[in-house]
């Protein structure tokens, strides 16, 4: 039965694992691989202490890793918060602190902007890149994991976290043009309802 957003991926992965889930440029990822990779990320997040209801930040441009990050966070029982790498550092810092985000997912090509964003946010871990030993200072969280290290985690079935359809799935922030940005919270139920409506209108 599909009642959580990640179920949509796993359901297709069981029936048609070789079907393409996402394309980006000349790259693509199948439903089977997306299911396995998101499981690996979820395993790492759970290992890091992420619990149901926590928030995970996604500091990525559109990429195949973005899909893995979104579904991996939700499979760990957390809600994902998309963060725009092109936004001013102050706005991103506000969102990180406003949501209490402790684990941020990114890529090596965001190292320069991350250096401006991370200070003072209380991040515990950075997933998707490691800084060189010469760069290590108080800016960076102590725990850092490359995507290769994520891939070394088990892709097997996750523990039963008792995630419910009314649990938080993601938070989208307003532009803040009339004041401080405000987070709009979506449950798995509301996210699935929107996806089903969009599919029926396509």
Q: For 90-106, what is each residue's pLDDT tens digit?
A: 999 999 999 999 999 99
pLDDT in tens, 116-129: 999 999 999 999 99
Judged against a pLDDT cut of 70, whether residue 134 lies above it is answered with no
8 A C-beta contact, residue 70 and residue 80:
yes
> What number is the average pLDDT over the span 83-91?
94
Judged against a pLDDT cut of 90, whether residue 73 lies above it is answered with yes
Which pTM does this prediction carry?
Answer: 0.94
64-75 and 5-15 helices cross at what angle (nearest 10)?
Answer: 110
Rounded to whole angstroms, how far apart are CA atoms 160 and 33?
21
């Amino acid at each position: 039965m599909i009642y959580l957003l990640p179920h949509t991926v796993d359901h297709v992965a069981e029936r048609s694992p070789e079907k393409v889930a996402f394309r980006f440029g000349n790259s693509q990822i199948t439903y089977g691989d997306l299911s396995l990779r998101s499981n690996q990320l979820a395993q790492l997040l759970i290992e890091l202490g992420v619990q149901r209801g926590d928030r995970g930040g996604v500091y990525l441009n559109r990429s195949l890793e973005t899909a893995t990050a979104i579904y991996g966070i939700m499979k760990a029982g957390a809600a994902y918060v998309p963060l725009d790498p092109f936004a001013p550092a102050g706005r991103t810092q506000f969102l990180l602190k406003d949501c209490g985000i402790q684990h941020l997912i990114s890529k090596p090509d965001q190292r320069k902007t991350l250096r401006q964003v991370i200070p003072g946010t209380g991040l515990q871990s950075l997933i998707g890149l490691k800084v060189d030993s010469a760069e290590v200072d108080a800016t960076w969280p102590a725990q850092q994991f490359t995507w290769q290290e994520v891939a070394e985690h088990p892709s097997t079935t996750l523990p039963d976290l008792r995630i419910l359809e009314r649990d938080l799935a993601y938070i989208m922030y307003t532009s803040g043009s009339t004041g401080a940005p405000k987070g709009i919270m979506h449950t798995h139920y509301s996210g699935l309802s929107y996806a089903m409506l969009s599919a029926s209108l396509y």
